[in-house]
A and B are shown apart, each in its own frame.
Chain A
Amino acid sequence: MLKNNRQTLTIFWSILATTFLCLIINLPVNFTLFGRTFYRPSFSFNLGSSQFKPNLDLRYGLDLAGGASLLFEIDTSKTSIENLPDALESLKANIERRVNLFGVSEATVQLSSQGENHRLTVDLPGVTDINEAIKLIGQTAQLNFKGIIDLPPEATATATLKDVLVDTGLNGSHLLKAMPQPNPNTGAIEVSLEFNAEGAKLFEKATTDYLNKRLAILLDEEIITAPQVGVIIPDGKAVINGNFDIKSAKFLSAQLNAGALSLPIKLIQQSQVGASLGQDSINKGIRAGLIGLALVSFFMIGNYGFLGLIADFGLIIYGLITLTLYRLIPVTLTFPGIVGFILSVGMAVDSNILIFERMKEELRAGKSWNNSLEISFGRAWNSIKDANTCTIITALILFNPFNWSFLNSSGMVRGFAVTLLLGIVLGIFTGVFVTRNLLRVLARKKL
């Protein structure tokens, strides 16, 4: 026993130091105490020439921070199998560009495939105008230039729009850039287009072919404008003038710049949470957690006295380390995630209860206090290990780490699984390792 004293003490102080560090990391960014304002250290440090500045904020999921989540189905029927992976990747990149145009920070775009079904999830934290987001993301924005031909008079009665439009081969893929600008003469807002070399050639040919005829500019197969071609344009510059105001001209330019989607998509699920509801959920969750924690602490002290008090210390350390990990990993907190955390607090004391009950038995059998302590921790370990393995197995199935398509991968379920999983692993650590060493040091006077 004595030989281990130094080692035990080292562990004891390391535990206290870790706890203190975690406590500081979990402080609010600034707070006032006794009339003085304190600031949380930023923990930035330099290694060689590169600077590290960890982001220590807790990340909240859509259900807590508010925002919108959209699920699109991707229509892959018109793409060959060998082109599919590239098409999917370029679709994702394209959607990401569009989302960025919308100015959402920390938006995520995810592809998921299940057999023949390909889906795209777009999470937009903080977005309240879901309809505008859907429009910007979902619209295909296919730009086409088509010539309008004159039909013989006998055909006009039965002709449809398609019959008079002839493809010029010029489309959105030839576009270098689109931007809104006022017309120098009229002041009306227009969208100016600039084509690449190939596009410029095609445009020159089109303006030659349809000189003094009409050239239709189509967006998503809909004619926006069909101006008369007055001159041959060789430099690859054109303007679209419709009835634009500055907002719609900007919107159209943004869409054209982002390019056409490589695959058509269809919205199949949308969900939206207002920010006020999220804040309400956080407050209620914290209150419920604290009161539950207080009840558990009293229960442990009431049942196990001094041992219970140490277990409660273990629980506080557990809480601090867990929160620190949430910040460092980082774990995105959802409301089911908070439930997982609260549940895991209840489970974390299980190891202590197992050990303390065992200790009572050993003491009754007449063993010394210190002997009982060591024996109980040793014997209870088997049960703790097996019992927690079950919960870990289940949490892993819920978390679905390999993204198996036949299992759920929704954010709600995963949010719960990840906090539960972390909670169990840490609970074993604090319940066994931390409390054991705290007891070894703090209970030495009972030797």
Chain B
Amino acid sequence: MNIMKFRPLFLIISSLLILASIFSIIFWGFRLSVDFSGGSSWQVSLPSKPSSETLKSIFSKNDLELLTISTNQEKYILKFSHISSEQKEVLSSEFKKLDPSFSELQFETLGATLGKELLKKTIWAIILSSLSLLIFIGSRFKDLSFGASAVIAMLHDALILIGSFSILGHFFGAEIDALFVTAILTTLSSSVHDTIVTFDRIRELKSLSFRLDWVELANKAVSEVIVRSINNSMTIIFMLVSLVVLGGSSTRWFAIALLIGVICGTYSSVGVAIPLMLLTKRKKNDKK
């Protein structure tokens, strides 16, 4: 199987995905959840199904602005600014008046500084995991071109995941929350996971067959491990898809983020990491 002849195709796919991600991040930005932006998120059940205008008027009466309302039958998710517990009590009693069978499902409120703090912690976590994975890969392969290509492929996946959530946020209302960050970090590790298995095989073949050049080695290794890569991703995809379809709404986007990460990770070890590694190897040969 000569999979490396598709390298121009991989280049096109990756470039398109990255460009689309950067475009979306710059022009559409993100929808931050209250975890990051600060504010309140209130999930309530109102069986009488009042209109959005009715709810908005309750909020404006109390000098509060109801920013977004999303409804699913009798369930309402309301987003508004950070409030005190007294203000919340007033709102609850107003809702009770509006609908006697009103019940609260979930409520969260936090100030803006706390959100900024979480954002800072998140960036630290990403930097720390990238660095430690870089150190691990570097020490594992003792070859900079292997390590660097694995890390670039890993960042490629993270960028596409972040970009796709910018796009999903723009069109479907997906939010960036603390769990999304967890998904990014999990993607980083699963991306490296796949790359390591492939690189391991290339090194093993290298020590066995001296005649093959790097491209041939890569082809042989990929054709040997691709079934394993795909099968392994399939099992994870089965679990995640059933979570997306059947799991609760509170972690649906989390499962989707993990799903995108796993698919990207499987693709990037063949489509990004190996072509990058080959790029450096060919240059070395030219010098000789």
Closest Cβ neighbor of B201 among chain A residues: A383
Contact of A299 among B182, B234, B246, B255 (CB under 8 A): B234
Identify whether the interface residues of B are mostly helix, strand, loop, or mixed: helix
Q: Is A325 an interface residue (CB 8 A)?
A: no
The one of A268, A287, A386, A395 in contact with B114, judged by C-beta atoms closer than 8 angstroms, is A268
B81 at the interface (CB under 8 A from A): no
Assuming the contacts A271-B106, A299-B235, A361-B224, asked whether A277 and B125 have C-beta atoms less than 8 A apart, the reply is no
Establish whether residues A131 and B110, one from each chain, have CB atoms under 8 Å apart when the complex forms.
no
Alpha-carbon distance between A392 and B196 when the two chains are bound, in angstroms: 14
Contact with B along A261-295 (1 / 0, CB 8 A): 00000011111111011001100110111011101
Contact across chains for B228 and A292 when beta carbons are under 8 A apart: no
Across-interface contacts of A287 in B (CB, < 8 A) = 246
Q: Pick from B4-12, B63-71, B128-136, B276-284 the stretch touching chain A.
A: B128-136
Q: Does any Cβ of B come within 8 Å of A373's Cβ?
A: no
The stretch of B51-59, B165-173, B187-195, B206-214 in contact with A is: B187-195
Q: Say yes or no for B104: interface residue by CB 8 A criterion.
A: yes
Q: What's the tally of chain A residues with a CB closer than 8 Å to chain B?
A: 68
Residues in B whose Cβ lies below 8 Å from that of A303: 231
Name the contact of B243 in the complex, choosing from A268, A292, A349 (C-beta under 8 A): A292
Return the chain A residue nearest B243 by Cβ. A288
9-residue interface stretch from A74-82, A83-91, A406-414: A406-414
Interchain CA distance A303-B108 in the complex, whole Å: 46
Min CB distance B188 to A, Å, is: 6
Q: Which of B84, B106, B247, B255 has the most CB of A within 10 A?
A: B247
| Closest chain B CB from A284 CB (angstroms) | 4
Contact (Cβ within 8 A) B239 A292: yes
Distance A288 CA – B89 CA, assembled complex (angstroms): 36
Is B159 in the interface zone, CB < 8 Å from A? Answer: no
Q: Would you call A349 and B235 a contact (CB within 8 A)?
A: yes
Q: Are B104 and A295 in contact (CB under 8 A)?
A: no
Q: How far is the CB of A167 from chain B (nearest CB, A)?
A: 30
A343–B140 Cα gap in the complex (Å)? 26
* Closest partner residue, chain B, to A413 (CB atom): B182
Partner of A357, one of B85, B108, B231: B231
- One digit per residue, 1 when the CB lies within 8 angstroms of any chain A CB and 0 when it does not, for chain B 103-129 equals 111111111001001101110110011
Which of B110, B182, B185 has the most C-beta atoms of chain A within 10 angstroms of its own C-beta?
B182
Is A426 at the interface (CB under 8 A from chain B)? no
Which of A335, A353, A354, A382 gathers most chain B CB within 10 Å? A353
> Does B238 lie at the interface of the complex (its beta carbon under 8 Å from any beta carbon of A)?
yes
CB closest residue in chain B, given A70: B85
Q: A178 near B: Cβ within 8 Å?
A: no
Q: How far is the CB of A307 from chain B (nearest CB, A)?
A: 12
- With A272-B106, A280-B248, A335-B251 known as contacts, the answer to whether A394 contacts B231 (CB < 8 A) is no
Task: Tell me, yes or no, whether A391 is within 8 Å of chain B by CB.
Answer: yes
Asked whether B267 is an interface residue with its Cβ less than 8 Å from the other chain, the reply is: no
CB distance from A108 to the nearest CB of B (A): 18
Specify which chain B residues have a CB less than 8 angstroms from the CB of A398 in the assembled complex.
Answer: 125, 182, 185
* Pair B248/A346 contact, Cβ less than 8 Å: no
B190 — which chain A residues lie within 8 A by C-beta?
391
Closest-by-CB residue of B relative to A354 is B228
- The answer to the question of B152 belonging to the interface, with a C-beta cut-off of 8 Å to chain A, is no
**B242 interfacial contact with A, CB 8 Å:** yes
Pair B196/A346 contact, Cβ less than 8 Å: no
Residues of B within 8 A of A291 (CB): 242, 246
Q: How many A-B residue pairs have CB under 8 A?
A: 203
Residue numbers in A under 8 Å from B189 (CB-CB):
390-391, 393-395
Instruction: Let me know if A229 is at the binding interface, CB within 8 A.
Output: no
Do A134 and B128 form a contact, CB below 8 Å, given A63-B250, A390-B193, A412-B179?
A: no
A393 / chain B contacts, CB cutoff of 8 Å: 129, 132-133, 136, 189
Q: A270-B85, A353-B235, A416-B182 given as contacts; is B122 within 8 A of A408 (CB)? A: yes
Q: Is the CB of B254 within 8 A of A350?
A: no
A420 at the interface (CB under 8 A from B): yes
Known: A394-B185, A416-B182. A268 touches B235 (CB 8 A): no
B16 at the interface (CB under 8 A from A): no
Interface centre among A268, A347, A393 (most CB of B within 10 A): A393
CB distance from A300 to the nearest CB of B (A): 8
CA A280 to CA B199, docked complex, whole Å: 44
User: Is B227 in the interface zone, CB < 8 Å from A?
Assistant: yes
Set B109, B239, B245: member contacting A343, Cβ < 8 A: B239
In contact, B200 and A353 (Cβ under 8 angstroms)? no
Cβ of B106 and Cβ of A397 under 8 Å apart? no
Are A134's CB and B85's CB within 8 A?
yes
Residues of chain B with a CB closer than 8 A to A277's CB: 43, 105-106, 250
Q: Are A274 and B106 in contact, CB atoms less than 8 angstroms apart?
A: yes
Task: State which residues 284-333 of A face B: CB under 8 Å.
Answer: 284-285, 287-289, 291-293, 295-296, 299-300, 303
- B26 proximity list for chain A (CB < 8 A): none
Also in contact, A390 and B122, with CB within 8 A (given A267-B85, A336-B254, A354-B228): no
A406-B124, A413-B182, A420-B186 in contact; A391/B193 too (CB < 8 A)? yes
Residue of A whose beta carbon sits closest to that of B118 = A408
**7 A-B pairs with C-beta separation under 8 A:** A130-B107, A267-B85, A292-B240, A347-B232, A386-B196, A387-B194, A406-B121
Task: Give 19 new A-B contacts, CB below 8 A, not counting A130-B107, A281-B250, A347-B236.
Answer: A114-B117, A271-B108, A274-B106, A277-B105, A285-B243, A289-B242, A293-B239, A336-B179, A345-B239, A350-B232, A357-B227, A389-B136, A390-B133, A390-B192, A391-B186, A391-B193, A394-B185, A398-B185, A406-B124
